[in-house]
């Protein structure tokens, strides 16, 4: 991992968006199904908003720039590249996070359960 990625991740942690803050409030300290999430986690040339190494599950809170053609294309490429490593990305619109955190919570929980079924504990 490049030092530059670590510095950028630290900066992003200090300057989180309102949506990221709200998501972090439900993900931190294993509050959601006992799953450990990391915030602004660098993987290769990407930095995921939230990442569970145990389940290879990335959570992204997307602002408006992700919904224009250029942003959509970059997100699709990123998702494809990360899927090579077995990482599943779940994306949420910032407005959904801010206005429907219960629904977002349920979708993340379903994604975790799906991963658990895929990789059961011994």
CATH number of the structural domain spanning residue 16? 3.40.960.10
Contact 53, 42 (CB under 8 A): no
Rounded CA separation 77/71 (Å): 10
Domain region containing 33: 3-118
Q: Model pTM?
A: 0.81
Say how many domains are in the chain: 1
Spatial neighbors of 12 by CB under 8 A, at least 6 apart, are 40, 47
Highest mean pLDDT (candidates 13-22, 52-61, 69-78)? 52-61
pLDDT attached to residue 65: 53
Share the mean pLDDT of the chain: 84
Q: What would the mean pLDDT of 36-56 be, rounded to a whole number? A: 92
pLDDT attached to residue 67: 47
């Amino acid at each position: 991992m490049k030092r530059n990625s670590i510095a950028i991740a630290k900066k992003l942690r200090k300057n989180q968006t309102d949506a990221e803050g709200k998501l972090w409030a439900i993900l931190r300290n294993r509050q959601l199904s006992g799953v450990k999430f990391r915030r602004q986690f660098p993987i290769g040339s990407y930095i995921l908003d939230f990442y569970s190494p145990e389940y290879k599950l990335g959570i992204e809170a997307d602002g408006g720039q992700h919904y224009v053609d250029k942003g959509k294309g970059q997100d699709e490429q990123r998702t494809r590249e990360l899927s090579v490593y077995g990482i599943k990305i779940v994306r949420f619109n910032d407005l959904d996070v801010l206005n429907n955190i219960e629904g977002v919570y349920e979708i993340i929980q379903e994604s975790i359960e799906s991963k658990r079924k895929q990789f059961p504990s011994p």
